[in-house]
Chains A and B, each alone.
Chain A
């Protein structure tokens, strides 16, 4: 069965500093990987996704993520955070294929706080 681990429950970062959120997955084949962001009381918005090809993926809002097969990781990064980046971030993995449908397995989330 697939699983996703986000080791950091909370991260506090100063505005303008860089941010890296960790994501480790467990899946037998090539995974489909996603990062979503959730503002308080809202739904989730897709930041970026990786299916194949270039292992460095660019997303919206200045975020990027790097797929490292050898480490089973898909870490999210942003060079300089803005106060509006304060939110909860979720990594997710999908199995692919008709039988699996589009079911995703989500990590527990990392809440990001931005200090002025």
Chain B
């Protein structure tokens, strides 16, 4: 079955360490997205990529970095510069770069930094 796989489901890190969250899709989608979810704040866009080797900052990109070397993969690195990294991170993809085709979401990674 096609879908989006995020791994791991739970991740624990010490403050000051960089950590990379994995997102892989086999839906053949062009566009991929990273959202951060905090209680009561909905989802906020971190980064998005419309094609391979290209990506743009979302609303809260500071302290994060991404790469898009392959169509299937869009890893997110949470750097030590991110002030409040503990959150639930959701990866999504869509079939086209525009026209608002629906987003397909992975099951998320819960990151806890202590």
- With an 8 A cutoff between CB atoms, is A14 at the interface? no
Contact A109 B40 (CB under 8 A): yes
Contact B94 A43 (CB under 8 A): no
Q: A101-B97, A102-B96 are in contact. Are A43 and B48 (CB under 8 A)?
A: no
Which of these, A46, A97, A100, A109, contacts B42 with CB under 8 Å?
A109
Total contacting residues, chain B, CB less than 8 A: 32
- Tell me which residues across on chain A come within 8 A of B44, comparing CB atoms: 106
Residue among A90, A94, A98, A104 with most chain B CB within 10 A: A104
Scoring A residues 32 to 51 as 1 if CB is less than 8 Å from chain B, else 0, what string do you get? 10101000011111100101
- With an 8 A cutoff between CB atoms, is B31 at the interface? yes
Contact B40 A9 (CB under 8 A): yes
Residue among B31, B96, B98, B100 with most chain A CB within 10 A: B100
User: Chain B residue with minimal CB distance to A43?
Assistant: B105
Total contacting residues, chain A, CB less than 8 A: 29
Q: A43-B105, A43-B106 are in contact. Are A103 and B99 (CB under 8 A)?
A: no
Which of these, A4, A49, A103, A106, contacts B48 with CB under 8 Å?
A103
- Minimum CB–CB distance from B39 to chain A (whole Å) comes to 9
User: Chain A residue with minimal CB distance to B45?
Assistant: A103
- With an 8 A cutoff between CB atoms, is B75 at the interface? no
- With an 8 A cutoff between CB atoms, is B28 at the interface? no
Contact B40 A96 (CB under 8 A): no
Alpha-carbon gap, A94 to B6, bound state (A) = 24
Q: A43-B107, A101-B48, A108-B41 are in contact. Are A51 and B90 (CB under 8 A)?
A: no
Alpha-carbon gap, A27 to B31, bound state (A) = 23
User: Chain B residue with minimal CB distance to A48?
Assistant: B102
Q: A42-B108, A45-B105 are in contact. Are A96 and B42 (CB under 8 A)?
A: no
Query: With contacts A102-B33, A104-B43 known, what are 8 further pairs, Cβ within 8 A?
Result: A42-B108, A43-B90, A44-B105, A90-B42, A96-B98, A102-B101, A108-B40, A109-B40
